[in-house]
Structures are given as structure tokens and as C-alpha cells.
Amino acid sequence: MVIEESVAYGIFVKIFSSSMSTHHLSEQEIIRRQKLTELNSLGIDAYPAPLFPVNTTSVYIKENYKGDSPETKEEDKQLFADVCIAGRIMSVRDMGKANFAVLQDGVGKIQFYIKQDDICPDEDKTLYQTVWKKLVDIGDIVGINGYVFTTKTGETSIHVKSFTLLTKSLRPLPIVKEKDGESFDEVTDPEFRYRQRYADLIVNPGVKETFIKRTKMVNAIRAFLNERGALEVDTPVLQSIPGGAAARPFNTHHNALDVPMYMRIANELYLKRLIVGGFEWVYEFSRNFRNEGMDRTHNPEFTVLEFYVAYKDYEWMMETTEQLLEKAALATNGSASVLVGDKEINFKAPYKRITMYDSIAEFTGFDISEMDENGIREVCTKLGIHADAKWGKGKLIDEIFGSKCEGNYIQPTFITDYPVEMSPLTKKHRSKPGLVERFELMCNGKEIANAYSELNDPIEQRERFEEQVKLMERGDDEAMFIDHDFLRALEYGMPPTSGIGFGIDRIAMLLTNQHSIQDVLLFPMMRPENFE
């Protein structure tokens, strides 16, 4: 028996008023909760046990259904005569005693046809007239069983013989308009999309494709490394010293040990410890955390791939980087060339190479290669670049390059041979005094990789760390701490090694043609909501 609307609403208010006191329900949310109450009164569980015998997908049906064609495999003929599929209702066209609707499963969408006399062959029409017509909404998750057919307009569809409500949706989906199966009014509000990614994934099909591509990219990189004998490892996220990069860490506290701890800013020093221990090629996809600003290319939590290889140098690493990125592009998009906005970027090897000093000279007109800190500070003034008194020579050079040079490199380009002041973990250049064997890979105006011939002299490494301490004392909150345990590891002897870090999120932006890092992170950092 169906509960009268006024009675149902009264029951709903009594049940939900106390628990929902901090959430102001919309009219649609109130109506859907009322429908949930009515379903319960009919003995219909709106959240039944999870097992539903799905035997195919929307994409498989559309790609393989050929009607009565002799091309259709015998096993597919049997399947298409009795399909079970589950997903979310995305639209309904009401035709009285019959409806057309669209179901979205995990891989795509398919139309289905549901008719009163098919699902209610007996006198009782409650399942159709009350449940389907009145109590099921767009956004609900249903399981349907039936057979595949082609409509008069040529659309592959499912003729429903039975349906099961699997999940009642209590919140309406954002409205997305469609025509001929294509969305043309997608939800684009970033505040909604990033904060409610679950809803974004439902109503914007292209978003899911972005993250599928990201996974393909990561899998291709992992396969590239595994095929060459690299070993994937895990290193600590909580660290007593935030080492391996010049960045501001997140601080926390370990209660049991009563000691301050830090979320890792990089995993470099732990991976080098493993090279000391005898592993010759190790890598890690690392979640790193930096307590710094947010913009379209920075998120406080991000993913980096770092790997370290014994008995190799930065020249070898450049060649390996070219091969790795070319393979990742091919695996993600089927081509080494990708479209990024209105620019075509080609990841096919080899890539252009230019030294940092030559790049600065090219784009500023100043040769700073022989200048001291005061001279470089004067150049900053002439270029209109802020030069904080706390910054040393390395930071000043970094500001000049970032402000005047970095954005000019659209095609993949290796910036090589950095000043020693910028690279406290890098081996000095074998033939160029004052420089180190380091490169950064620039692409589309941003750094996507950073690599060194690693410094393995423990005495020199200690001196470099001590220079960082001096910068910290001057107020540079991105200067490195001294990691005494890492120095102890180096004293056992680390073989000549090359290492690299890739910004996985930035590479994903390039290979999926996204302009914001938030669009390649499933759950980007957001200011907490106030639910009061």
C-alpha cells in the first residue's frame, strides 16, 4: 500500500529533522527523502545487498551488437538475449506506459526501453506506476535485465524485462543538457567540480577519461623502469628531517616519541641510502607535501617519480628521460605529439639542450656567469625582479631564470649546468668550475623534471649542508636541514650515481591537455567547507 503524501512527509520530517539540523535541505532533497520513506513502506529496500549479476557493459554492447548479422558470435547472441547491466539513470523520456531512459555504467552510456506490461505482466502495476514512475529519480542506481535491440532511429538499446533499485539518490545531480548523445552544457564551475569530484565524474564524462589517461601514463612509466631492471620501493612519508629539496615542510608531532616530525618534501635522501646499501637502480612514485602556495601548477600535496641509478651520470639520464617520456606519450595518446591548448608539443627524442647561463644571457641580455652575489642582485634590480635580502646567490639566479627564461620553453628542453649555489646535492661539473652536473627539463613553460650527477663526497656534502644552514639563519625558510644520518650513509661510500625527479602531475597535465593541476588531481586541496 502506498502511503499518502501528507503522511509520508510527516514521517520524513520526524525522522530527519534532528539529524539534519545543520544541513538546510532543498525542496528536491526533501522530496527524495519522502520517496525513500514511501519505498520503505512498500517493503522495497533502497539500499539492498551489493550483489547484482552484471554480465556486460554499455560499451561492449554498443561495439559488438550487430543484430541478426552472421558476424555476431554465438556466445554474443546468447549474451545479448539476456543482458544484466547496472548503473545510474541519467535521463528519462516519459511516454506514459512506456519510457526511454539512459543508463550510465562505469564505461559509458546506453539507452533502455521500459514498458509497463513487460515488468508488470499481472494485474498489479505498482512496480511500474508507483515505483518506476513516481519513486525512481534521475541519479538513482538501478540494475536492469533484458535483451538488446535496435530502435527505429538506429540506436542500440536494451528492452527491459525487469529492474531492481540498487541505490536511492537523495541529492539531485547537476543538470547537464545533451543532444544526440553528446553533452553540450557541462558543469564547469571549478568550486563545484574540485570540491565534489564524485559528482563531477558523474556528469562530466571527459573528467573520467583524464584520470584513465593518467593511469595509463603511470603504468607505462612503471613498465619502462621495470623492463630495465629497476626496483620499486617505498620510503617514509613521516620524517624527522625534511630533506632532499629546498622547500617549506608541513610540521607535525609524534605523540608516543614526543618528537617533532615533518611530512616529506622529497624522497631523494632515502633512495640514495638504498644505493649505498647495494641496490643499483631504485624508484618510487612518491606523495610529497610542501607547505607553500597554490596555483594552477602547484598543489601542497603532489606526486613525484624519483629514481637513482648507480654508475650513471646526467648525460645518460637525459637520454633515458627522452625515451621514458616518449613511451609515456605513446601509451597515453597513441602519439609522441600532444596538443596542449593551441600548441603541439612533441616528446619524440632528442630534445634541445642549453646551459642555464646561456639561457639567461639569451633572454635578459646579461651574462651573469662571472658575477658575485652583489652583481646578480643589481641585475635583478635592473630587470625589475624582487631580490629579497635573505636570498643568496643561488636563489637570485633561480628567480632570474624563473621570471625571464622558463616560460619561453614550450618544446621539451634540457636546461643544463647549474651554478653550484643552486644545487647542494649535486656533483661539481667535471670540466666547468663553479657549475654542477644538473639539468631541469622544461616543457610548456614549466619544469617537469630535475636531475643530477649525485654528489657522493661526504665531506663536500657536509660543507654544502652547512652553507644551507647559513641561509636558514639569514631567514630562508626553504633552505635544507643537515641530515646527519644521510651523511653517515655517504661515509660508507655511495657509488657514482645519477638521479632524477619527475613531476607526475605536470606531465599528466601535458599528456591530457589540462591547464590546471587541479584537473589531474582527483581531490585537489580546497579550503574546508563550513557545514554549519
Over residues 46-99, the pLDDT tens digits come to: 999 989 999 999 999 999 998 888 888 889 999 999 999 999 999 999 988 999
Over residues 195-233, the pLDDT tens digits come to: 999 999 999 989 999 999 999 999 999 999 999 999 999
Contact predicate 108/57, CB 8 Å: yes
Q: How far is C-alpha 461 from the chain's CA centre?
A: 35
Residue 526 has which C-alpha cell?
A: 580546497
Mean pLDDT of the chain: 91
C-alpha pair distances (Å), 157 with each of 77, 138, 362 = 15, 18, 61
In the DSSP assignment, the letter for residue 454 is: B
Proportion of the chain in helix, strand, coil states, percent, rounded to 5:
35, 25, 40
Q: What is the pLDDT of residue 180?
A: 60
Domains along the chain?
A: 5-207 (2.40.50.140), 218-351+416-444+476-526 (3.30.930.10), 356-410 (no CATH)
Contact predicate 379/401, CB 8 Å: no
Segment (H or E) for 282: strand 281-289
For 173-201, letters b (16+ CB in 10 Å) and e give bbebeeeeeeeeebbeeeeebbbbbebbe
Over residues 252-284, the pLDDT tens digits come to: 999 999 999 999 999 999 999 999 999 999 999
Residue with more model confidence, 68 or 340: 340
Q: What is the pLDDT of residue 317?
A: 97
Over residues 412-445, the pLDDT tens digits come to: 999 999 988 888 888 999 999 989 999 999 999 9
For 262-290, letters b (16+ CB in 10 Å) and e give bbbbbbbbbbbbbbbeebbbbbbbbebbb
Distance CA 513, CA 301 (A): 21
How many residues make up the chain in this entry?
Answer: 532
Q: What is the DSSP annotation of 75-87?
A: HHHHHHTSEEEEE
Distance CA 58, CA 75 (A): 17
Over residues 457-481, the pLDDT tens digits come to: 999 999 988 988 888 888 877 777 8
Contact predicate 263/285, CB 8 Å: no
Residue 220 has which C-alpha cell?
A: 607505462
Q: What is the pLDDT of residue 9?
A: 46
Closest CA to 410 of 373, 448, 442: 442
Distance CA 497, CA 269 (A): 13
Contact predicate 131/82, CB 8 Å: no
Residue 449 has pLDDT above 60, yes or no: yes
Over residues 474-528, the pLDDT tens digits come to: 887 777 788 999 999 999 999 999 999 999 999 999 999 999 999 999 999 999 8
Model's pTM, two decimal places? 0.86
Highest mean pLDDT among 133-137, 296-300, 425-429: 133-137
Residue 17 has pLDDT above 70, yes or no: no
